[in-house]
């Protein structure tokens, strides 16, 4: 009988010191983030730099929460959840090329096989600085864990491209024709397409669906029974190549209208006429920065 009383006393003491409850929580949020956000690739003929970007959107998290309330009134949370949502991600990059020189051999400016009509065209593109911008609709699928005020999230993000463009300002093209049989070099006859020309260039980027490894961690700040502020850092790293276009010739111009020359993006171009090498093999999405999220739970 005495042993039974001791057991009852121990159980009552334990129950008075801690009460455990489990509940499901639905959390709705909107967020904004910013930092280093870029199209990541290796440039074979020049220098590539990243850019500043970020994303914003809405989210939903389903939590299965355990709460332990001690006799001192302290609440101890341990929450597991699944997070998803929709967000717009902005990614920027810049490519600064070295001079791009190409030679087109054996061109014919006349009819027949007259060797005096044959010439080699030497083309040099200089001062080419291309900026790239891409926008993705990102859909996260992430596992969440919270221990008191610390939170961790990891999973995948699926990005659907919804826009992208590239621009280059004041690029310089020089065309020189060499007639070997005649011993003549033409380099200032602009009416014929030879000389120095300047132009601003812009075009559309074609990007593919991206799959990113997504990590996030930080601190949550309790505001009241319904609102929580999350502050943290995040990393999104692309797992696949998003350069959708097949490779094309880099420089495009018409002999009769060379001042309006254009280029394809370095993300989708060969850097030589024989199409033996490209400017970039793979393009991946990457972002790292600071994130703030305001959440409403019920």
DSSP states along 139-170: EEEEEEEEETTEEEEEEEEEEEEEEEEEEEEE
Q: Is residue 29 part of a domain?
A: yes
Q: Is residue 12 part of a domain?
A: no
Q: Which residue range(s) make up the domain with 252?
A: 20-297
Predicted confidence at residue 193, as pLDDT, reads 77
Cα separation, 93 vs 202, whole angstroms: 15
Name the β-bridge partners of 36.
52, 288
Q: Is residue 115 part of a domain?
A: yes
Considering only residues 84 and 99, tell me which one the structure prediction assigns the higher pLDDT: 84
What is the average pLDDT across 39-51? 91
Predicted confidence at residue 13, as pLDDT, reads 45
pLDDT band, very low/low/confident/very high, at 1 (cuts 50, 70, 90): low
Number of separate domains in the chain: 1
Q: Is residue 67 part of a domain?
A: yes
For 250-272, what is each residue's pLDDT tens digit? 888 776 676 778 888 999 888 77
% of the chain with per-residue pLDDT over 70:
84
% of the chain with per-residue pLDDT over 90:
46
Q: Is residue 176 part of a domain?
A: yes
Q: Is residue 9 part of a domain?
A: no
Q: Is residue 160 part of a domain?
A: yes
Q: Is residue 10 part of a domain?
A: no
For 176-197, what is each residue's pLDDT tens digit? 888 877 778 888 887 777 888 8
pLDDT band, very low/low/confident/very high, at 137 (cuts 50, 70, 90): very high
Predicted confidence at residue 122, as pLDDT, reads 86
Q: Residue 246 gets which letter from DSSP? A: P
Name the β-bridge partners of 13.
none
Other Cβ atoms less than 10 A from the Cβ of 158: the count is 15
Sequence-separated (6 or more) residues with CB below 8 Å from residue 185 = 176, 177, 178, 179
Task: Output the six-digit token pair for 97.
Answer: 């090329």
């Amino acid at each position: 009988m005495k042993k039974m009383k001791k057991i009852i006393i121990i159980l009552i003491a334990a129950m008075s010191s801690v009460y455990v409850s489990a509940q499901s929580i639905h959390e709705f949020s909107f967020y904004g983030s910013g930092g280093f956000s870029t199209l990541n690739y290796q440039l074979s003929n020049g220098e590539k730099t990243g850019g500043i970007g970020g994303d914003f959107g809405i989210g939903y998290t389903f939590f299965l929460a355990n709460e332990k309330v001690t006799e001192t009134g302290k609440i101890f949370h341990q929450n597991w959840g699944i997070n998803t949502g929709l967000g717009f991600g902005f990614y920027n990059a810049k490519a600064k090329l070295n001079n791009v020189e190409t030679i087109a051999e054996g061109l014919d400016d006349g009819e027949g096989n007259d060797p005096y009509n044959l010439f080699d065209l030497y083309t040099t593109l200089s001062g080419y600085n291309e900026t790239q911008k891409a926008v993705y609709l990102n859909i996260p699928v992430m596992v969440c864990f919270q221990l008191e005020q610390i939170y961790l999230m990891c999973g995948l993000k699926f990005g659907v491209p919804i826009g992208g463009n590239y621009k280059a300002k004041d690029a310089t093209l020089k065309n020189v024709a060499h007639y070997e049989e005649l011993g003549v070099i033409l380099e200032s006859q602009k009416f014929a397409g030879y000389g120095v020309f300047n132009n601003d260039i812009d075009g559309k980027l074609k990007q593919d669906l991206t799959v990113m490894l997504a990590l996030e961690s930080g601190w949550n700040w309790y505001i009241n029974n319904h609102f929580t502020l999350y502050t943290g850092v995040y990393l999104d790293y692309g797992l696949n190549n998003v350069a959708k276009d097949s490779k094309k010739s880099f420089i495009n111009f018409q002999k009769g209208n060379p001042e309006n020359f254009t280029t394809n993006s370095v993300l989708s171009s060969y850097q030589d006429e024989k199409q033996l090498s490209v400017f970039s093999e793979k393009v991946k999405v990457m972002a790292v920065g600071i994130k703030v999220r305001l959440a409403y739970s019920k």
